[in-house]
Structure 1
Amino acid sequence: MTPDRATIVWVPGLLYTPAHYTPIIAALAALPVPIPSLSIPMPNYGPGAPSALPYDDLTLVRATCSDLVDAGKDVILIGHSYSGVPVCQAVRGLERSLRQKEGKAGGIVRVVFIAAFLLPDGMSTMQYSGGRLPPPWVTVDDGGVLWRPKRGLCMKLFFQDLPPAEQERWADELVVANRNNCTTPVRRACWDVDVAKTYVVTTQDLGMPLERQRAMMKEVWDESWSVDEIGSGHAPFLSKVAELVEILERYA
């Protein structure tokens, strides 16, 4: 009998929704030995953004993982872009290495960061960016609370390695976000947690430039990390599905 594969939890990047991850989820499910995966909508993006609270994203990510590991599942948690922030905070106490010591089945077995922020405790993405927010690819309304994607610029920065029709399609799926995401500091990051960590470098990324990815990796690097590279823009789960599936197959 083939052992169960780990369940992948995709946490959308800022402005993204679970819709953006449907191609990769379908590809993982179509493997000869399927890899189960799911994506969750972030409270701070989309219709609920105006009333969302700063740590609502983290709360949902952790609750989702808790339910899976309490059901005895192994979990690979994936953060993309901004969602590296809630993802890195959701791991502690749910890692399989700790749960095994407690006599429990299941746990987070790996955390994967795809072109994602890697921040130390006490730092927000606003602080990391030197206070230079909002980013140029959004407009601001509702007293500065809500950020709305600039369609044309997002097409160029996030989806430039897709055909034009696909760029338009996926740019149209982007949603409004609450600025909470970028002003809330990290707390209890998983950098010292006994769990495998992988960074997927997107070498042609215009939204998260290569030098920025490597600089952040350098700050948290230790023997628990591995690195994979994809010659893609900011969304390899759309433009390089087969290559990303090949990477994830090794870990699931």
Structure 2
Amino acid sequence: MNHFVLVAGAWLGAWAWDEVVPGLREAGHDVHALTLGGLAEKKDLPAGQRTHVQDIVGHVERHDLRDVVLVGHSYSGIPVGQAAERIGDRLRRVVFVDSNVPVDGRSFLSGFDSDDVRQALDANAGCWPPLPPDAYAGQELTAEQIHRIVTEGTPHPGATLTEPAVLRRPVGELPATYVKCLLDGPEPPPAVAEALKSERWELVEMDTGHWPMFSRPRELARILVESAAVD
């Protein structure tokens, strides 16, 4: 039995994994879906990048979890990758789901052309508001799923996007699976492409959009279970 720790991306809380959790439990695994500080039911808590890393590390240590599979989607690949390094031999594997990955000294926003996000932070008291419904078009999401993401999503704390990651060694040294969602673009980000050169990384492709926990939850659960079995 592995212990899956699931962390969703920007604006989302633990609720984003509701349809993935049953498939993991049916396969005999323990599952912990986390909400990071400043989001969902924790929306009133101040949070920066260090907070989010500690949210993950602290949960693993408080519950004395071992054989841990850390799963980070989108933004959360940044804190998940740092947490994976910090939990040491508790880690079984880390799975990045169409996510960014941490690079020492670089922030989430330094990984892409982020002027629009920075402008949104300036205009919204340092928070990144959820995207409008039309931003989710072409991602294999139903109208109901888009409505849920938009209405249940919470503004994302800006400090988590601008504070730099801290790593002792390159993320490519972690045992990892990268799940690329092809409707969001066929090529992984440059930092991911570099990490995929490592013998410890594998690439898995899904023919769906950027939010597979909504569009393909059963398929994603199967991929996560298979990834955990990779030596």
State whether TM-score is above 0.5. Answer: yes
Any gaps of 5 or more consecutive residues in structure 1? 97-106
> What is the aligned-residue identity percentage?
23
Contact 1:109 1:195 (C-alpha < 8 Å) held by counterparts: no
Partner of 2:193 in structure 1? 218
Superposition RMSD on alpha carbons, in Å? 2.5
Q: Secondary structure at the match of 2:183?
A: coil
Partner of 1:156 in structure 2? 137
Q: Which has the larger radius of gyration?
A: 1
Would the alpha carbon gap of residues 163 and 187 (structure 1) be closer, same or farther in structure 2, given more than 3 Å must change?
same
Q: Equivalents in 2 of 1:163, 1:130: separation in Å?
A: 28
Give TM-score, length-normalised by structure 1.
0.80
Q: What displacement does 1:220 show?
A: 2.0
| Pairing partner for 1:184 from 142, 145, 163 | 163
Q: What displacement does 1:242 show?
A: 2.1
Give TM-score, length-normalised by structure 2.
0.86
Aligned length: 226
Q: What displacement does 1:48 show?
A: 3.3
Contact 1:79 1:112 (C-alpha < 8 Å) held by counterparts: yes
Matches within 5 A, 1:12-161: 12-29=8-25, 31=26, 33-46=27-40, 48=43, 51-68=46-63, 70-71=64-65, 73-96=66-89, 107-134=90-117, 140-142=123-125, 145-156=126-137, 160-161=139-140
Would the alpha carbon gap of residues 37 and 139 (structure 1) be closer, same or farther in structure 2, given more than 3 Å must change?
farther
Q: Secondary structure at the match of 1:51?
A: coil
**More helix per residue:** 2
Any gaps of 5 or more consecutive residues in structure 2? none
Instruction: Please say which of residues 51-60 and 117-126 is displaced more in the overlay.
Output: 51-60
| 1:170 equivalenced with 2:145 (yes/no) | no
